[in-house]
Chains A and B, each alone.
Chain A
Amino acid sequence: MNLYSLTIHELKAKIAAGDVTAKRIVEEFYRRIEEVEGKVHAFITLMKEEALSQAEKIDGEIKQGKLKELSGIPLALKDILCTRGVKTTCGSKMLADFVPPYDATVVEKLREAGAVFLGKTNMDEFAMGSSNETSYFGITKNPWDLSRTPGGSSGGSAAAVAADECAAALGSDTGGSIRQPAALCGVVGMKPTYGRVSRYGLVAFASSLDQVGPFTKDVEDCALLLEVISGYDPKESTSVPVPVPRYREFLGRDIAGWQVGVPKEYFGAGLDKDVEEAIQRAMVTLEGLGVKLVPLSLPHTEYCIAVYYIIAPAEASSNLARYDGVKYGFRAGESRDLLQMYKRTRSAGFGAEVKRRIMLGTYVLSAGYYDAYYKKASQVRMLIKRDFDAAFEKCPVLLTPTSPTPAFKIGEKTDDPLKMYLSDIFTISANLAGIPGISIPCGYTKEGLPVGLQFLAPPFEEGRLLQIAYAYEKASPIPKRRPKL
């Protein structure tokens, strides 16, 4: 088997045994990238030079007996995470040449753990999109079918992991931006609890919803990465000082007797037949593990999309105000006065979807509309959260499809923003409620496209998600496939 097909824990074993050097691994991954990147286009920036010298440094450490949690593990980072000295574009013309003088906290943590960064992955502009089609840097293709999107907004990270262009990757999830592309690309993706992972250095889209999380090839890797990136950060006021458990300890624990809630609102119209069948088969597998499936209701589910598309754009309209051409990033050429500079910079620097959301957000925060939109949406958000609180009183975890459809065709939904927004219909609720969710592969459609299964748990119960996801992964009778590239 090729080195690039291995999981993190498999690579770790090889490095620990001295079978392979970090440098060799990194070189192998760049060979793979050269081979498939032309088809997939998962990256915006590759960091080959830095990665190789970093790998050499790590090899030196290993020789001295310093083996860290992720020594020599090649990772990719969504280009929304700030990297000191390396361009961080956020998929936008606005930041096409922006080089941060600081690392995001998660990047710092991974660096300290010995990880090697291969590059920065493609994404929807400012994470606004569900298909990677709003990126200023071209469209990422789904490795399973190059005529389809990888999902989004962290489509580049999902595709890079699926195409074996990295061992694992980080993404960010504001309304499903990790879980939906994970489902569409057949990999594991987790959005941790709001406050579990520091947002410092994550370019803000919607601050009360954004969360960083891992894309991995299996559940064990997900547990491992989560352990490294989690924890309180004094630089981040909304990060929570809850101790970080050893998530790997949850793996292999029995789930027999668990009551798993199945919210009926997630199985209605719009759910693809093949997706539904795959989910049903997964439920049978889980029942075989002694799980009891409990039908239940999350009555405010129907408001999730509406609430999300008020709160997220509202926060975004404010978060993106800093891109004004004054201090860094893109500035339109000669302007008559300040106002013209603002207008021309922002007109030319942002894409259509970003502008749409800035306008939506500006509108809902305006005097006279605030109460009817933003305030009301915030109130409904509390009701959605309460739905989950009630459900979790009965069941330790919930089960839903991750996405209503498998990967869709490039261009299929670009003309209809509403249709595109519905792609996140099953993932948005977790962001609104601040709870953790994981998407894991659970089979394929007739066309051979991967399907994702989502588990949701109460705040800071990522361990439960990993426990049940791991149990399912081990018990699943479906042979694992790889995209043919």
Chain B
Amino acid sequence: MEYEAVIGLEVHAQLLTEAKIFCGCSTKFGAAPNSHTCPVCLGMPGVLPVLNRKVVEYAMKMALACNCRINPTCLFARKNYFYPDLPKGYQISQYGEPLAEDGWVEIEIDGSRKRVGIIRIHMEEDAGKLLHDEINPVSMVDLNRTGVPLLEIVSAPDIRTPEEASAYLKRLHEILVYLEICDGNMEEGSFRCDANVSLRPKGEHTFGTRTELKNMNSFRNVQRALEYEIKRQRYILEEGGTVDQETRLWDDAKGVTTPMRGKEEAHDYRYFPDPDLVPLVIDEVWREEVRKSLPELPLEKRERFLRDYAITPYDAQVLTQAKALADYFEEVAKLSGRPKQAANWIMGDLLGLLKEDKRDIKSCPVCPAALAEMIQLIEVGTISGKMAKEILAAMYETGEMPRTIIEKKGLSQITDEEYLRQVVAEVVSFHPREREQYLSGKEKVFGFFVGQVMKKTEGKANPRLVGELLKEILSQK
């Protein structure tokens, strides 16, 4: 029988607000344990939460970018469970009335487009972290992360393949980063994903029994885990067995999913509206204000780049993956007036340099004006493309403008015709035998002469000029 997978993804994205969602503590990652805490996020007796409006604004941005309906009134609810990283014994989340519902994003697989529905987007607070001592039987609690704002984005079960899952995740990731509301760092856990997956015979409409997959901390792992899980379920079904509804953990090293210990799942969270927070009212004025503040989203930008800069779809795709990169490209394209060259230099050499250096375009030492200047210098023939590679590396190293580097290194091309004429004449007169060969039809020898001129000028001679002069002088009597 042919089976079809039904996949739904639950994404948790940490929002980049300065302060936590219900207190004024910093959200910065990597501080000394428990240094970013206060009585409120420590869950001390008698303290109360106050909603950070910036979190709502960020959440609304995502909701609007995902074509969701923002509810005019939404509620916060308590999700009750005991765990040492949860100081209040409950997590403040949203349940019955979330911030936003019924949206979609578009994904593209092999050129064909598809909409993946978004059931809901809601706000909640993150929990802390446990650190387990390897030697002693003790665990430490770090509550710095407690209260860091999270967005939960729940997709509809519209995804059918691991590739689609990966494309959907990349799309959400891209939008979040574009909106500058999430840093998207999967390793630090700023962008996390759980998956629900089930199989059903192709053409069937009812859902099969699903499993929930956790512990996948990269796009690749999500795809691998889903591939494995689909295979596992298919095998069970083909053997006539039944899939157990359970939570499974992805084991990256072994490349398998294994069931989570059963007890930990039997949760009844006893959700109820949090009486410490009033209903959140979002009126049209606020909603439209946020809508107006939305930047151009990656898909729109991609289409505009194709239209305005006449670059290839592949170039547009790469250049719009991050907003900072797209902005960089646009500036270079505008300043240089050469979009195609700008794209080539950025995607080729510059991204290579950055990658080697493990740097982001945001901290690129070469400013757009410098790169644009370099491209123009190539255009007017001051430097050759080959020299430009060397100059760009120096620009990257020092952060200096290309002209400065060219001067310092004496790198500019020799375009002085009189001087070159002298050099060419000299070279020709030194090699009468080769000249004979050339004149007798051995065109290859021409290259030898170019090489000699370049050697004499330390490679700085303008190649076009050298060619013209050689042709002229070689054929002189």
Contacts and interface: CB of A to CB of B under 8 A. Distances in A.
Contact of A321 (B39, B88, B277): B88
A204 B42 CA distance: 15
A318 B270 contact: yes
A235 B48 contact: yes
Interface in B404-424: none
Contacts, number: 101
B141 interface: yes
B46 A100 contact: yes
B43 interface: yes
A201 B276 contact: no
A200 B47 contact: yes
Interface in A71-130: 80-82, 88, 90, 95, 98, 100-102, 104
Contacts of B271: 365, 370
B270 A362 contact: yes
B82 A324 contact: yes
Given A100-B45, A203-B45, A366-B268, A321 B276 contact: no
Given A88-B45, A207-B276, A327 B51 contact: no
Contacts of B268: 366-367
Nearest to A94: B45
Contacts of B51: 237
A234 interface: yes
Interface string A309-328: 00000110110111010111
A202 interface: yes
Nearest to B42: A327
Contacts of A285: none
Interface size class of A (residues with CB under 8 A): 35 or more
Contacts of A206: 275
B45 A90 contact: yes
A315 B45 contact: no
B79 to A, nearest CB: 10
B45 A237 contact: no
A82 B51 CA distance: 22
Given A235-B50, A321-B88, A322-B89, A98 B272 contact: no
B317 to A, nearest CB: 45
A315 B48 contact: no
Given A318-B90, A321-B88, A100 B278 contact: no
Contacts of A88: 45-46
Interface in B45-71: 45-51
Interface of A: 80-82, 88, 90, 95, 98, 100-102, 104, 199-204, 206-208, 234-238, 314-315, 317-318, 320-322, 324, 326-328, 338, 342, 362, 365-367, 370, 374
Given A321-B82, A322-B88, A367-B268, 15 more contacts: A80-B46, A82-B46, A102-B47, A199-B48, A203-B46, A206-B275, A235-B48, A237-B278, A238-B276, A321-B88, A322-B89, A324-B84, A327-B42, A366-B268, A367-B270
29 contacts: A80-B46, A81-B46, A95-B45, A100-B39, A100-B45, A101-B44, A102-B39, A102-B47, A200-B48, A207-B276, A236-B48, A237-B49, A315-B275, A318-B270, A320-B89, A321-B82, A321-B88, A322-B43, A322-B88, A322-B89, A327-B43, A327-B141, A338-B84, A342-B82, A362-B270, A365-B270, A366-B270, A367-B268, A370-B272
